[in-house]
Amino acid sequence: MAGEPQDDCLFCKIVEGHVPATIVRETETTVAFRDINPQAPTHVLVIPKAHYPDAASLATGAPTLAADVLREAKAVADEDKLESYRIVFNTGAGAGQTVWHAHAHVLGGRGMQWPPG
């Protein structure tokens, strides 16, 4: 069920403290941690603590929580002193989503190309 922790979800396990992560920020509603396979000098994932399988379901089911994720993405960029950065939400396997818990990638610290891939 949307919003409820899922036993088989890696990010829910990080939220619960059962899987270690390098946490850089935490609020009442979000957790931000370093990506284990960084694609840029700054590569942080910002996730809602509540489980939503992707960005679309998060935006539809909990728009205030989606705004919290974006606000924390900016806070991560500010803490890493990024003048410019990219926020990426992969939604669906064809877009590269591999963990079915909504998350924003905050990427920065190097030039970004367009189109991204």
Out of 43, 51, 101, 103, the active site residue is 103
Task: Mark whether 103 is an active-site residue.
Answer: yes
- In terms of Cα–Cα distance, which of 62, 63, 47 is closest to 97? 47
Sheet holding 42-48, edge to edge: 23-26, 30-34, 42-48, 104-108, 85-88
The catalytic residues are 103
